[in-house]
Chains A and B, each alone.
Chain A
Amino acid sequence: MILPLHGLGSRQDLPLPFGFVLLGAALALVVSFAVLAVAWRTPRFVRPAGLALPGLTRLVDAAATRAALRVVALALYAWMALALWFGQDRVTNPVFGFVYVWLWVGLVPLSLIFGPVWRISNPLRTVARLGLAARGPLRPPETAFWKRLGVLPAVFTLLGFAWLELVQPENNTLPVLRWWALAWFVVVVGGAVVFGERWVAAADPFEVFAERLATLSPWQRVGGVIHLVNPLRHATTASVPRGTAAVAATLLGITAYDSFTNTTGWVGWVQTSVLPRELWGTVGLLVMTLLVAGNFVLASKATAPGWTDRLAVSLIPIVVGYNVAHYLSLLVLEGQRTAILASDPLGLGWNVFGTAELGVNSGIFDYPQVVALIQLAAIVTGHLLGVLIAHDRSLVALDGVRVVRGQLPMLLLMVAYTCAGLVLLFSP
């Protein structure tokens, strides 16, 4: 990543030991074929079910809870906006860590643990709602439009964010970040004012990312009531908006490209090239995303035509595993640093939250082996969950025909993704 230039993420994890790469690849293979050989043969997760929690539902749906969540999230955005527009252009400005670490990385554990909490607290939604309160959307589209749209706009906004994070020069300076924040605000809130609040669910990269991850959380609404459910069942029975495959492939492609830029071959190549590195970065990011997406489309078509988005649900755990492996130590270290810096958004020596005097606990770095183990475990677990979801979905898609052979394309693709992820973490 190009972020580390000054401060943010100035230390990266050691490459995964080669033995771990081999072990991970072997486990992925064994797990995949074990699932194929011994797992259930009739679809198991067809409809949502779990432990109904009416009390929790009432609490979560209470107007006061909603308002409190919205106020807290809006206040957080506002606080960071203060740092963005009026803070100092230094590494000590918390807004960089907020955007690149808290939001981009932090939404992963938040959504996995608490479910779709970001949707109900997303500050851009709150702002859009305030804007829409006076008068409805300027050009409200029909319901069919939203179905056609799905989450497709988020493919572009996610790539936009990835470009900012991984390609944009000087992306840890305020002028650059301000332009991007403005563009993001205009696209998401502006679109909501024109088309209605549903636009946020289609176009806000953070909300779309968070919502896809929330389908792996143990909280699911069944008939309006929150249920405690098996995350696998949640993933397979959650609604699948159009563009899910594209979003999943983009997320995977972004992380893969991020890893890929750490390889010495790529660095050397880009640095000696006469062409600008932004061009290489753009090409690399797009090629990596298209590579992931293209292979997925081929494999899903080979399984059952018309199932691309519904099978793509199985990519989400792989995205999570890879994300954890890639960003965990960044979240631990820079997440702390951001919390410390958040006390003083304008660089005036404030200590609003009493965190300013704290130091970053970097104890995690004394245990590189443990970090490597967590990385390996995350990737293999993500792979296992992905394979289980793909298995159950494929059984439905194949509808009793070629139930074993029909799953092979998806299975091989997932093994390939996982091995590629491991190799990239080994960073040759």
Chain B
Amino acid sequence: MRRLLPLLAAALLITGCSGQASPSPAASATTSQPATPAATGSSTPSSLSTPSVAPTPSVRTITIELKNGKVSPNGARVELDQGEPFVLDISSDRDDQVHVHGFDKEIEVTAGKRVTVKMIADRTGRFEVESHHPELLIVVLQIR
């Protein structure tokens, strides 16, 4: 459904996903901030001491890196318990989308910026998390 992507992308842009918290009603919250130290000063005051949008220590963070057309992790499996919150911490060297299947969640990724999205594993099953340019499977969320 290539054709759907621009629509979704547009929708996400309109709702302000590129800037601050996403108003998406589902159990998730998106924040994005510059990845390069040079750019950190202006945005959030706390970003020098805590480079990531500090998830509480107990929350599982899945660090995702999109680089040179490769993904890391490369199709690995992440096991979660139903109801468990988790954070996707994504950085990319190009503009892309990261799609969390089954959650109908499409995350806009901007080159050089870091995006963290907090979600809740509220349903059981196996769900693929993919990048779109190129189309690669990053992780499989396995929620019991």
Instruction: Please tell me if the beta carbons of A172 and B144 are within 8 angstroms of each other in the complex.
Output: no
Find chain B residues with CB under 8 A from A14 CB: 124-126, 142-144
Report if A173-B71 is in contact (Cβ < 8 Å); known contacts: A4-B101, A14-B124, A14-B126: no
- Cα separation A330 to B26 with both chains bound (whole Å): 24
Find chain A residues with CB under 8 A from B1 CB: 5-7, 89-91, 172-173
Chain A, interface size category, equals 20 to 34
Find chain A residues with CB under 8 A from B135 CB: 5, 169
- Cα separation A409 to B71 with both chains bound (whole Å): 45
Report if A91-B4 is in contact (Cβ < 8 Å); known contacts: A14-B125, A368-B144: yes
Find chain B residues with CB under 8 A from A272 CB: 70, 74
- Cα separation A271 to B72 with both chains bound (whole Å): 11
B86 at the interface (CB under 8 A from A): no
The digit string for A1-27, where 1 denotes a CB below 8 A from any CB of B, is 000111100111111000000000000
Instruction: Please tell me if the beta carbons of B136 and A13 are within 8 angstroms of each other in the complex.
Output: no
B89 at the interface (CB under 8 A from A): no
Tell me the smallest distance from the CB of A18 to a CB of chain B, in Å: 13
Instruction: Please tell me if the beta carbons of B71 and A271 are within 8 angstroms of each other in the complex.
Output: yes
Find chain B residues with CB under 8 A from A90 CB: 1, 3-4
Find chain A residues with CB under 8 A from B71 CB: 271
Instruction: Please tell me if the beta carbons of B126 and A12 are within 8 angstroms of each other in the complex.
Output: yes
A267 at the interface (CB under 8 A from B): yes
Tell me the smallest distance from the CB of A382 to a CB of chain B, in Å: 23
Instruction: Please tell me if the beta carbons of B4 and A264 are within 8 angstroms of each other in the complex.
Output: no
Closest to A266 in B: B75
A223 at the interface (CB under 8 A from B): no
The digit string for A265-288, where 1 denotes a CB below 8 A from any CB of B, is 001100110000000000000000
Chain B residues close to A by CB (< 8 Å): 1-4, 70-71, 74-77, 99, 101-102, 104, 123-128, 130, 135-137, 140, 142-144
Could you give 14 example pairs across A and B, Cβ below 8 Å?
Answer: A4-B128, A5-B135, A6-B4, A7-B1, A10-B127, A11-B126, A14-B142, A89-B3, A264-B77, A267-B74, A268-B74, A271-B70, A271-B137, A366-B124
Chain A residues close to B by CB (< 8 Å): 4-7, 10-15, 89-91, 169-170, 172-173, 262, 264, 267-268, 271-272, 362, 365-366, 368
